Chain A
Amino acid sequence: MCLAIPMQILSIDGTTARCSANGVEREVSLFLMQDRSLSMGDFVMVHVGYAIEQVQAIEAQRRWQLFDEMDRSADA
């Protein structure tokens, strides 16, 4: 359950952000991110619909790569 996926912020409306990961878009709550100053283009780790922490772009891309590998191994 502690799986978290890096997503990029496309737009912010109050404590809700429209986020994208590898082309998949979701509404994400930023309620737990009150101490972080986030803007469009930033990356966040998302767990059960909530951003739990900010993440650098390089780590986000690494994680996407990891999920792709896991998908491939699950398909195999």
Chain B
Amino acid sequence: MSTEAKQWLSRIQALKLPNRVHIINVCGGHERSIAQAGLRGLLPENIELIPGPGCPVCVCPEEDIYAAIQLALSEPVTLLAYGDLLRVPVNLPKGEPRTLMAARAEGADIRPVASPQEVLAIARDNPEKQHCFFMAGFETTTAPLAAMLAEGVPDNLSILLSARLTWPAVALLLNSDTPGFDALVAPGHVAAIMGAQQWSFVAQQHRVATAVAGFSSESLLAAFYSTLCQLLDGQPRLDNCYRDVVRDEGNLAAQRIIEQVLKVTDAHWRGIGVIANSGYTLRDGYMKHDARQRFSIVDDAQRHRAGLMPTGCDCTQVLLGKIYPNQCPLYGRSCTPRQPVGPCMISDEGACRIWWAAGVKS
């Protein structure tokens, strides 16, 4: 640990906290940094760091994944997606393809990709074939997708979009009877795009201490210290502990491009339900690239009740910050990265997978 990080830790340890404090994060990257650096074990016992809804793949609607699987199996289309989405299961009887990987094993043309440029290159190299890019992500990942569309994509490329905005999930928690946290560490790269200011409502409207953090131990510990001081002062406000990257107003060009290509809509979060103004759809000018328009993706109403987490899986409670990953009865028993049950054990940004990788085995 660096000298600067140790200094922040000493400052935190010197604080006289009268009560137990719960600090939530809503970013898989934050949770990974916390878990890998072992920050929980270094902080005073009465500070709890809670992983919250920070995994877009984990909340990607089950019916969207089902639609992608059916599309890849029934149409002559190459389906492209960021890698961890390929392993997330839908709720189907045994024997039917439950994941995109399983559909690939049955002959569907499904490929993992790492960037929009790779998507473009594949579509351009195969002009005779239809391609569909299935994307789940928060604003940081949505901005590059919007940029790709704004720059122009070939006619043989369509988008199956499950993009989500981060702040509405935090607002949902704050508006509930039991938010379960006293302070928020706001996501650094979402804020780099959308602006630190986007998180001011947390302190102003809900009087919850807030600090934007980066991904180093220094930045995270600075953010913890800031929120703890805000609580001790009784004056919650928005602090920015990632000033090297995050501006108050964010990246305005990126915001303009998102606004040009996408419009905000109500959206379903797996296991959680519909959250107002929390998703994106393509604007009219880009609708011809909407996979839902191009292909007959059947919205099977009978499947809506199946749109929950897998049976027995407590991913919803993990995502809402109500329990720690290892409080799920399946964690480390029937659910491990080798044989995952729920998306939180599958996605690189899922709290369960992060905890397992950091050595929490039970």
Contacts and interface: CB of A to CB of B under 8 A. Distances in A.
B244 A52 contact: no
A47 B254 contact: no
B144 A2 contact: no
Interface string A39-76: 00000010111101101101100110010011001100
A28 to B, nearest CB: 9
Nearest to A73: B36
Contacts of B27: 2
A50 B57 contact: no
Contacts of B33: 66
B140 A31 contact: no
Interface residues of B, number: 45
Given A35-B251, A63-B215, A52 B116 contact: no
B29 A29 contact: no
B45 interface: no
B39 interface: no
Given A49-B144, A52-B189, A63-B216, A33 B253 contact: yes
A68 B214 CA distance: 16
A24 interface: no
Interface in B113-144: 114-118, 137-138, 140-141, 143-144
B245 A55 contact: yes
Name, among A2, A52, A74, the residue most crowded by chain B CB atoms within 10 Å (CB to CB).
A2
Contacts of A4: 140, 189, 192
B200 to A, nearest CB: 19
Interface residues of A, number: 31
Given A50-B147, A63-B215, A2 B253 contact: no
B245 A66 contact: no
B201 interface: no
Contact of B251 (A2, A53, A59): A53
A49 B27 CA distance: 20
Name, among A27, A29, A33, A49, the residue most crowded by chain B CB atoms within 10 Å (CB to CB).
A49
A75 B89 CA distance: 28
A45 B191 CA distance: 13
B325 interface: no
B253 A32 contact: yes
Nearest to A49: B115
A70 B144 contact: no
A1 B116 contact: no
Nearest to A15: B151
Given A1-B57, A29-B147, A53 B192 contact: yes
Contacts of B187: 2
Given A2-B189, A27-B117, A49-B116, A34 B253 contact: yes
A48 B83 CA distance: 12
Contact of B245 (A3, A29, A59, A73): A59
Interface of A: 1-4, 15, 27, 29, 31-36, 45, 47-50, 52-53, 55-56, 58-59, 62-63, 66, 69-70, 73-74
Interface of B: 27-29, 32-33, 36, 56-57, 82, 114-118, 137-138, 140-141, 143-144, 147, 150-151, 187, 189-190, 192-193, 214-218, 244-247, 251-254, 257, 348-349, 357
User: What 5 A-B pairs have minimum CB-CB distances, sorted nearest first?
Assistant: A49-B115, A59-B244, A50-B144, A34-B253, A35-B253
